[in-house]
Amino acid sequence: MISDFHWLIKEIPENLRRLLSFAVVFSIASPLLELVGAAAVVVLVLVLQGAPSDACRICDILPFSHQLGGSPLFAVALFVVAVSASQIIRYLLLDISRRLVQGTRRELTLRLVGAYLDLPWLSFVAEGRPTRVKHCTGTANDAASALQTLLTLVSSSVMIGVLAVGALVQTPWITLGLGVVMLVALWIVRRLLYPRIRQISKANDAALRGFHRQIAQVFDASKEISVYRVSGVFLHRMEAPLDDACQAAARLSVIPQIPWLLFDTVLAAAIALAVGVAVLQSGEFNISVLLADLGMILVLYRQFLPALGNLMGALGSLPASLVSLEIIRNELASAPPRRALASPQGDLAPGEILRLDGVGFAYSGASPLFENISLTLRRGDRTAIIGPSGGGKSTLLRLGAGLMGPIRGGVLSGGAWRVAYVPQETALLEDSVLENILFGLEAEDEARVWEALSLVRLDGLVRRMPEGLATRVGDNGVKLSGGQRQRLGIARALYRRPDLLLLDEATSALDRDTERAVMWAIHRAMGDGAVLFVTHRASALEIAGRVYELADGVLRPHQQRGVLQT
């Protein structure tokens, strides 16, 4: 647990770490001011009853308080000032803790998203997208909330400790009774509830992962579900993980409150018992002193009870926070950097853009797709790869794009070359046409944007849209047809004016005439850049200077183009 919190503190952004020192100072100052206020109440009650202020034993640890004996108004003023200052400090402490938690949440979320994006492609797709989304949203927030739990533990413990010292000096028997009650409650939390809460937290995380997975699948397949009229089936499948998550959340909200629900009743009994013991112990009943003691207890009770409640709540929520923190730590620790491509000895020859030397690849647990493929792309090359589905064509392009590394051989690409990659299923942002072309680029060249759209025959369509380039395309381009989405993806690639363009069946949704026009436009736009593309259709091959067939793990030149789809 200590190592988890140490790691979390290191994750606090640099510009917020200085706030930790303020949080510590405020955590000490607030209970001290409350103690001053309590001493003022004791003196005030004694003076108003004509009793000597020397009966204020708490004043022995606050010597200046004896000066209040002859001035009730000054005692009242000191009480008001001390309590008001304490409340201001508590507000500042609350503000600091919220800023620290939200700043840390932001840092953890950005680090986690960055770590996921830097994963090798196979590692990224190994775990479902819904689980990663959950980690970047809910789990990261819960992990950052562990910092709030830590600050609550520290501030509440300091408040309870300082007030307990003052109460112990003034009313030892009552304080000892309260101390026994608190220790019993802490024992219950630590020994009986803590393991149970941790177990429920893990079950809740597993249930939420299952629910996120189910709901993502439902939304992704919404059209098919509607056509086949099977919404009831998928809703039923969501019920089990949702029920598990709701039940776990309900238990997590109730179980940590059990000690607190019992504490209030036992506390009243402990105070009554302690007062009785104190009277029996002294053999006398001094109403003035007793009233002063009870007045001080009531003043301290204002902060002691909430502090104890916060402490109990923090201890109750600590297991769940630590589970989330452990998940985030493991995710960040297990996220390897993007695997560097294995490179052969030597450099690219003049004019070469990409070279694959004897590369082999196999997916985990599967037979090798290919074991010894060599291919060189030079400036101006237009190279096509055909072959049966599942033969490794897309994998070969992913190797060239640097998304994966080979299990043997080397992929050598000039570091200065600009590479663009267009998969068959283009991912579009839920944003405007313009932002989908810029795709992260800050500088906007509108003339260049229209040029890219013109190359893929989308300029007319975009000009007819209500807001032109600012028209939003919907979730993953739902407002566009399949062919329009593909062409927008190609326009995105051409806008970058790459040296190497990789097309993985990027025109499969186009009709033959449009595909032919777009491929020739790509040919002209790329100039002396290289194009490597995968296709199953003859209409895309017209620009190809070389055609290779990848079948049975072997890449060989292909001459008989008639076997392709037309």
Most confident of 33-42, 178-187, 347-356, 478-487: 478-487
pLDDT at 46: 64
**Distance in angstroms (rounded) separating the CA atoms of residues 337 and 342:** 14
Residue 306 predicted with pLDDT over 60: yes
What's the token pair of residue 537? 């259709």
Return the C-alpha torsion angle 72, 77, 81, 82, nearest 10. 0
Quick one: average pLDDT of 52-62?
Answer: 58
Distance between CA atoms of residues 401 and 405, nearest Å: 10
pLDDT value of position 227: 62
Q: What percent of the chain has pLDDT over 70?
A: 78
Residue 566 confidence (pLDDT):
47
pLDDT of residue 386: 94
pLDDT at 469: 95
Least confident of 19-33, 234-248, 329-343: 329-343
Give me the pLDDT at residue 562, please.
43
Contacts of 460 (CB under 8 A, 6+ apart): none
Helix (H, G, I), strand (E, B) or coil at 296: helix
Residue with the larger pLDDT of the pair 206 and 274: 206
Distance set, CA 291 to CA 275, 277, 302, 305 (Å): 11, 16, 17, 20
- Tell me which of 348 and 356 has the higher pLDDT: 356
Tell me the two tokens of residue 243. Answer: 């029920």
pLDDT tens digits, one per residue of 458-471:
999 999 999 999 99
Query: Above 60 in pLDDT, residue 563?
Result: no
Q: Which amino acid is at 315?
A: L
* pLDDT tens digits, 260-287: 666 666 666 666 665 666 566 555 555 6
Element (H, E) at 228: helix 222-228
Query: With 50 as the cut, is the pLDDT of residue 434 above it?
Result: yes
Pairing of strands 530-534, 382-386: parallel
Lowest mean pLDDT among 38-52, 185-199, 301-315: 38-52
Residue 506 backbone phi and psi in degrees, to 5: -75, -5
Contacts of 70 (CB under 8 A, 6+ apart): 47
| Buried-state track 324-362, b at ≥16 Cβ within 10 A, e below 16 | bbbbbbebbeebeebeebbeeeeebeeebbbbbbebebb
Q: What is the pLDDT of residue 298?
A: 65
- In Å, how far from its chain's centre is CA 196? 25
Q: What is the pLDDT of residues 118-143, one digit of tens each?
A: 887 787 777 777 888 888 888 888 88
Please determine, for residue 388, whether its predicted confidence score (pLDDT) is greater than 80.
yes
Strand partners, 548: 385, 557
Contacts for 357 with CB less than 8 Å, ≥ 6 apart: 344, 374, 409, 410, 411, 412
Give the pLDDT score at 45: 67
pLDDT value of residue 378: 94
- pTM metric for this prediction: 0.73
Q: Which pLDDT score is estimated for 187?
A: 75
What percent of the chain shows pLDDT beyond 90? 27
Residue 195's pLDDT band (boundaries 50, 70, 90)?
confident
For the ranges 377-386, 420-429, 523-532, which has the lowest average pLDDT?
420-429
Residue 70 has pLDDT above 80, yes or no: no
Q: What is the pLDDT of residue 341?
A: 42
Confidence band of 339 (pLDDT split at 50, 70, 90): very low
Per the prediction, the chain carries an average pLDDT of 81
- In terms of average pLDDT, the best of 246-250, 288-292, 398-402, 490-494 is 490-494
- pLDDT higher than 80, residue 39: no
For residues 16-48, one letter each, b for 16 or more C-beta atoms within 10 angstroms of the residue's C-beta and e for the rest, the string is beebeeebeebbebbbbbbbbbbbbbbbbbbbe
HEC readout, 465-490: CCCHHHCECCHHHCCCCHHHHHHHHH
Task: Please give the Cα distance from 249 to 211 (Å, whole number).
Answer: 13
pLDDT of residue 373: 94
| Top mean-pLDDT range of 36-40, 235-239, 263-267 | 235-239
Q: Is 463 exposed, middle or buried (0-12, 13-18, 19+ CB in 10 A)?
A: exposed
Hey, which residues does 422 pair with through a beta bridge? 503
Residue with structure tokens 């906007």?
A: 444
At residue 217, does pLDDT exceed 90? no
Decide: 506 and 422 in contact? Cβ < 8 Å: yes
- N-terminal to C-terminal alpha carbon distance within the chain: 64
